[in-house]
Chains A and B, each alone.
Chain A
Amino acid sequence: MSAVTLGLPSFPPRSPEGAGFLRGAEKFPAAAHHELANAQLRRNIGKATHTIRAKRIHVTEELPDWEELRDAGSAIKTDVMARLPELLEQFEAAVIARGGTVHWAADANEANAIVTELVKTTGSDEVIKVKSMATQEIGLNEHLETQGITAYETDLAELIVQLGHDKPSHILVPAIHRNRSEIREIFLREMPDVDPELGDNPAELAAAARKFLRHKFMTTPVAISGANFGIADTGTLTVVESEGNGRMCLTLPKTLITVMGIEKILPTYRDLEVFLQLLPRSSTGERMNPYTSMWTGVTPGDGPQEFHLVLLDNGRTAALADKIGREALNCIRCSACLNVCPVYERTGGHAYGSTYPGPIGAVLTPQLAGMHGKDDPNSTLPFASTLCGACFDACPVKIDIPSLLVELRHQKVEQSGVTAEALAMKAASYAMSSSTRWTAAQKAAGLGRIVAGKKGKISTLPPPLNGWTAARDIPAPPKQTFRSWWDSDEGRAALDQARRGAHPDSDGKAEK
C-alpha cells in the first residue's frame, strides 16, 4: 500500500502562493499600526481575552493532574508526527471499511477542487458549514463562490463575520472584535426578514440567527466540516463545539464532506481521554464544551449516508521536514496562547494577515506558507512577539512557541542578511556569553532611562534600531540590574517576606 520514494528526499513544498489565507497583504508592523488605532477593537479584545484567561486558569487549577495531562498530550502528538505515514494509512483504511470515501489533497487548490466536484455531484448549489480552520485556510468559501456555490457559515460568530463581509479575528471567537450594536446593524442589513425592532441584547441576536439558520439546516443536502481529531485505529472523527450548529450539519444533510489537516490524527480512541480534557479547559475555560460529536464512516439510518474525508497537506509536510517547526504541528487550536499574548491583545487577529493569528499563527503561518524574502508579510510574523513566554505556559500541549519564534527569526535573518534584529541578537549573545560582560551591559542599559525621559518609553531609536521602534515603544530599562536589586535593602526585605511564606505581589497573580 505504501508509496515508494525514489532517490534523495527533497524538502516538501510550502502552501502555494495566491491560494487561501496564509498570507496578508501588509507586513505585521504596518497592519498593527492601523489596528492599534482602533480603540473599539482593542477594548473588545482586551475584555474577551481577559475573561477567557481567568476562566481557563480556574478550570485548569481544578485538575490536580493538569501537568500530567499536558505531558501526555505533548508526547502523543510528538509520537503522531513520528509515525504519521502509518497512522494515516491505518486511519484511511478504517474510514473506508466503515463506508466513507477518502481523498488526499496536496494543497489548497487541490482541496478546493475536490470539494467543489463533490458538491456539484450532489446537484446542490448551497452548502452549510461547521466552523473550521482548515477550510478557512484554503479559502474554500471564496472558491465555492466562484463556482456558483453558496456556503453558509452556521457558527454564530462565523455568521457574523460572513454577513459583515469581514475576516475572523480570533480562532475560537472569530467575531470577538464586534460588539452588540455592530452585530445588530449587520443582521438588520444582511439577514432577510429580520424584525426591524430587533434589539441588541445577545439573547435576541442569537434568536434571530437561530431563526435564519433553522431553515438552512432543514433543507440543505450537503454539509462541510473540519475535524478536531481523527482516530487512526477506529477511523472515528470528532468535532467539538457549543451551539449545536455542528451537530445540525453533521447529522441532518445527506452528504457530509470533512476537510482535515493531516496533523490532526491521534493514534488510538483512548487518546481522546487526554485531549477531551485538555481542549475545552484550555480554549473556552469550560470543564467540557456543550457538544462533541463523534462518528465513524456511515451509520445506516442515522446521519449522512454519504461521507467524504479530504486529507490536506498544504504546507504541513514542509513544517514536518523542519525539526523545530514540526512542533508547531502539535497545535490543537485551543487559542489559549492568543488569549495570554500581550501583542495579540493590542493588535487583534487581523494584523497577522493569516487564518492563524496570535503566537501560534506567527509560528505556523511562515512554516506552512514560507517566508519569501524581506518583502513577504509572513517574514515579519516571527517578530510579532515580545518573547515573554506566556504562550508556552498556557499551551496545553507544551509547544515552546518563544523558542520556535527565535528560530524563525534566525532563519529570516539568515535569509535576508543584516538587519537591526541581527545586530541586536549578535550583541546580546556576545553580552550574554560572559557574566561580567552581562552585568556591565545591564548597568549600561540603565543609561537608556535618560533617553526614555519622563514617559518611561523609548519611541524612537537611532538607526539601525529605528526599524524596531517604528512598530513599538520600548519600555525604559529598569533602574537597577537584578543583581543590584538583590543586594539592596528592598531586595533583602522581599526575600525575607518570601521566606516567611507571604509572597510579594507578582504580575501573574492578577489573573487568578
Chain B
Amino acid sequence: MNSRDLVLGRIRDAITLAPAVDAEIPRNYRTGRTLPDDERIDLFVDRLVDYKAYVHQCAATGIAETIADILAANALKIVGIPAGLDRTWVADFYDELVVDSSDVPAPELERLDAVITGSAVSCAETGTIFLDAGPDQGRRALTLVPDTHICVVFGESVEVGVPEAMAKLTPERPTTMISGPSATSDIELERVEGVHGPRNLHVVIVS
C-alpha cells in the first residue's frame, strides 16, 4: 500500500474508532463592517504608525510630488517599479528608474535603494496592506529585497476589518500581507525593525 492510502486509511480507522460529531460553525463574529471614510483612514493611520511605518497622506493629484519628496528626503537614487505601475506617480523623480521583470535574478534587486508599488486592499483595524502580485505590485521578490518600500494605498481600498479585507482577495494569486516593516523580538523580546525584509515602509494614502 502506498503511504497516501495508508494515511487516509488510518484517518478513516481513527474516525471509526472515535466517531466525530457534526459541528455547526457559529459565525457570530463581526463581518461586513463599514465606517465613514475619515474614521476608517484615521484608524488605518493609527495602526500603521503603531507599527513604525511612515505615513504620508495626499490627494490623487499629489502622488508624484509626495513620492519624489520621500525619495529625495531619504537620498534614494536607484528605484525599482513593477511594469504595470502608473508612470505619472514617478513623473517628478529624475534619478535612476528600473522597471522590474521576472527574468531579472533576485540578487540584482539588491542594488535598488527603494521600490514603489500599488496595493490590492488594506485592513484598517490591523494596519495591514495586502499585495497580490497585480500589475502595479509586481512579483513578490520586488517588494522584499530592497531596503525601502513605498506603497501607494487608495483610501477606497481600505476596509475596516480582516473579514472585509479578505473578502476582496483572489485566493489563487500569491498574496503577501504586510503590517509595518520587518521586525523581530527574538532577543530579550526587544523589538528591532528590519531583519531580513525592508527596514523602511512608507505608506502613501491617497484620498
Give residues in A with beta carbon < 8 Å to B.
2-3, 5, 9-13, 44, 47-48, 51-52, 64-65, 68-69, 71-72, 75-76, 78-79, 81-85, 88-89, 98, 103-106, 110, 154-157, 160, 173, 175-176, 179-180, 183, 202-203, 205-206, 209-210, 213-214, 217-219, 231, 234, 236, 242-245, 247-248, 250-252, 262, 269-270, 272-274, 276-277, 284, 286-296, 299, 301-303, 311, 313, 317-318, 320-323, 326
Contacts and interface: CB of A to CB of B under 8 A. Distances in A.
Interface in B52-77: none
Nearest to B133: A302
Given A72-B26, A302-B102, A323-B18, A244 B9 contact: no
Contact of B196 (A44, A98, A243, A311): A243
A252 B23 contact: no
Contact of B18 (A10, A78, A326): A326
B179 A244 contact: no
Given A217-B196, A248-B196, A317-B7, A82 B14 contact: no
B187 A104 contact: no
Interface of B: 1-31, 47, 51, 102, 106-107, 110, 123, 125-128, 133, 139-141, 144, 162-163, 166-167, 171-190, 192, 194-198
The 5 closest A-B pairs by CB, nearest first: A244-B197, A82-B20, A301-B102, A321-B14, A9-B13
B198 A244 contact: yes
Contact of B197 (A44, A72, A247): A247
Nearest to B176: A293
Contacts of A219: 107
Contacts of A5: 9, 12-13
A234 B15 CA distance: 24
A504 to B, nearest CB: 32
Nearest to A317: B10
Given A12-B14, A202-B187, A290 B178 contact: yes
Most buried by B among A76, A83, A295: A295
Nearest to A271: B25
Given A272-B166, A317-B14, A244 B195 contact: yes
Most buried by A among B16, B17, B180: B17
A2 B2 CA distance: 12
B40 to A, nearest CB: 15
Contacts of B47: 287
Nearest to A62: B125
Contact of A288 (B6, B21, B127): B127
Contact of A173 (B51, B183, B189): B189
A72 B28 contact: yes
A154 B196 contact: yes
Given A173-B185, A173-B186, A206-B184, A104 B196 contact: no
A3 B181 CA distance: 47
